Amino acid sequence: MRAIRVHAFGGPEVLRLEEVAEPQPGPGQVRVRLHAAGVSPAEVEVRAGTFVRLPPLPYTPGSAGAGLVEALGEGAGGLRPGDRVWLTGAATYAEACVVPAGRVHPLPDRLSFENGAAIGGSYATAYQAIHLVAGARPGDWVLVHGASGAVGTAALQLLAAHGALAVGTAATAAGRAHVAAQGAVAALPHDAWDDLLAATGGHGYDAILEMRAEDNALRDGALLAPRGTMVLVGAHAEARFNPLELMVRGAAIRGMATFLLTADEQARVERAIATGLADGRLTPVVGQSFPLAEAGAAHQAVWTGAKAGKVVLTTI
């Protein structure tokens, strides 16, 4: 089968399409014939060698995808060959992967495989930030600072389903239109600081989900409500903040990463996402799609964030 392999960290050119052996499912595992794979900013940083955790070389990138169940290992119940599924926790830049059965979930008929590939990492990150780190409650004001990307889109949908009051930012008019369409009560430019505070009627934000801490953390503190929480979802460089703004509000800054989730937390997150997909409250948005052979172009697209929604690779 074909798969993307990385033999050295570096630019997009290190993403090489190669022939590799078909993976075989072991006990409790499922082999999925992939139709699409999600692409995330973290995968770009891993490929470049700049992420905080790096895999041994060579490796196949990816962590989220969608396709058809093809084979079951011993003890992998609850699934049948031919089932449409979305999954997390596997190397998905490939035509097939093996994954623990518990990380494989039914893909609703209303969603395409490309939609399915946009679920895993993005919604898990957003759910962790909102519920496990910020502890957002219905009625809370939540700023999604950088809301037009895949995680921001997922966060806005999850917040709307939770009954929170979400405000989202985006750099372009098209991005802000996308933000508004996902349930935000206001969509504003990233640096509209006065307008961002005014959107809450002066209350401030009970939580801020910060996608680019190096750009915004210094000013975010003044937007927080008393005892508010700034959640560091993304950062690509060192960030500055004003401790006095946090001190006078009794506010907090908390970091997060999906690899910190316990097995029980991971299961909780994926059950909640599956419920939202099944009842229609969550709908993944695909911004750009590339064939597997153009994984380098997909990495460039996700890093520039030129279009709203998720970047995916197609394998069929």
177, 169 in Cβ contact below 8 A? no
pLDDT recorded at residue 64: 97
103, 69 in Cβ contact below 8 A? no
Q: How many CB atoms lie within 10 A of CB 7?
A: 11
157, 282 in Cβ contact below 8 A? yes
Q: Which CATH class is domain 122-259?
A: alpha beta
Q: Is the Cα torsion angle 154, 256, 231, 265 positive or negative in sign?
A: positive
2-119+284-314 CATH: 3.90.180.10
Cα–Cα distance measured from residue 206 to residue 78, given in angstroms and rounded to the nearest whole number: 40
Cα–Cα distance measured from residue 145 to residue 174, given in angstroms and rounded to the nearest whole number: 16
pLDDT recorded at residue 304: 86
Cα–Cα distance measured from residue 269 to residue 263, given in angstroms and rounded to the nearest whole number: 10
pLDDT recorded at residue 316: 84
pLDDT recorded at residue 23: 96
pLDDT along the chain (316 residues), means of 10: 98 98 96 98 96 95 98 93 96 98 95 97 96 98 96 97 97 96 96 97 97 94 98 92 96 94 93 94 97 98 87 95
pTM of the model: 0.94
Q: What are phi and psi of 243, to 5 degrees?
A: -60, -30
Q: How many CB atoms lie within 10 A of CB 48?
A: 16
For the chain, the structural domain boundaries read 2-119+284-314, 122-259
pLDDT recorded at residue 229: 98
Residues in the chain, overall count:
316
106, 69 in Cβ contact below 8 A? no
Q: Do domains 2-119+284-314 and 122-259 have the same CATH topology?
A: no
219, 154 in Cβ contact below 8 A? no
pLDDT recorded at residue 134: 98
pLDDT recorded at residue 297: 97
pLDDT recorded at residue 237: 86
DSSP of 32-77, one letter per residue? EEEEEEEE-HHHHHHHHT-SSS-PPSSB---SEEEEEEEEE-TT--
